Amino acid sequence: MTFERMSSNDVLSLNLLSLQKSKSMSSIFFTTIQTHLIWEDKAANLAAFEKKISAIEGPKGIVVLPEMFSTGFSMQPEKLAEKMSGETVHWMKRVARDQRIILTGSVIIEDEGQYFNRLIWMMPDGNCGYYDKRHRFAFAGEDLHYAAGNNRLITSVNGWKINLQICYDLRFPVWARQQSEKNETFTPEYDILVYVANWPERRSHAWKTLLCARAIENQCYVVGVNRVGEDGHGIYHSGDSMIIDPMGEVLYHMAHEEDVFTIQLDRSHLNEVRTKLPFLKDADSFLLRSE
């Protein structure tokens, strides 16, 4: 298993050669899993996810799980953290291989003496990339228990570029903004923006509004996957997982219920929006720096 840290302006190329042999580069499949998480019970959560993934019929492509999918949004990394060689990453490697999918979601990881809320991007060949959550949710004390990431992760799958982020990152548009140096043409950094989350129902309006905003302002598809049910602190999550097109139109939305949903995203629609409405070329020029 190999890992790679990327600068904020680099692209991690993780091309999947055999995932969709019969599919053209004009489309890509995503499967979202919105589910209840059993509080701090890794074995039960992993077993439940494996059962759901195995039951998916038809193309799976990229399967997206919520934030901290093996434990729930816990502030006990000392108790729950694993190494990258640990049980959950090994489980992701096995499931991705056996199901011939890309599997992604965030888990609690200990790395060089620090704890991270880390999104893993696991390929079926066992290679993976990762993204450490940049914006920690201080309102819940996440900043007291977890270190912040400094680098974005943009992956490449069959010609699609995918920007991977976690929950609270959604409130900070600069971190997701398509960036470039000033020139007459504009080549977007990415085509799809993914958020994995444990976002509570009491702020669901912000979640739904900001997901649509990120799609419109970046002229990209947005995939937001949240959990449902109460966590270990009695906080209720309504899910409200969504998939949104580059015009801000909602292609999928599910609230309050567990749901497994597969969608095929179309490249021609994305290209048409960007060609007919070339707003990105008028954007302010800027580049993010790693700290």
Mean pLDDT by 10 residues, the chain (291 residues): 36 42 69 98 98 94 98 98 98 98 98 98 98 97 97 96 98 92 75 98 98 98 98 98 98 98 97 95 79 61
In this structure, the dihedral spanned by the alpha carbons of residues 260, 131, 5 and 220, taken in order and rounded to 10 degrees, is 70
For the chain, list the domains and their CATH numbers: 28-282 (3.60.110.10)
pLDDT of residue 265: 97
Residues annotated as catalytic are: 67, 133, 167
Integer Cα distance of 186 and 181 in angstroms: 9
Alpha-helical (H) ranges within the chain are: 42-54, 77-80, 87-99, 142-145, 173-176, 204-218, 267-276
Token code pair at residue 42: 């890794």
Q: CA torsion sign, 242 to 30 to 127 to 84? A: positive
Residue 134 in contact with residue 169, Cβ under 8 Å? yes
pLDDT of residue 25: 60
pTM of the model: 0.91
Number of H helices, E strands in the chain: 7, 13
Which residues, in sequence order, are CB contacts of 37 under 8 Å at separation 6+? 45, 66, 68, 69, 71, 72, 198, 227, 229, 231
pLDDT of residue 81: 98
Integer Cα distance of 195 and 234 in angstroms: 23
pLDDT of residue 183: 58
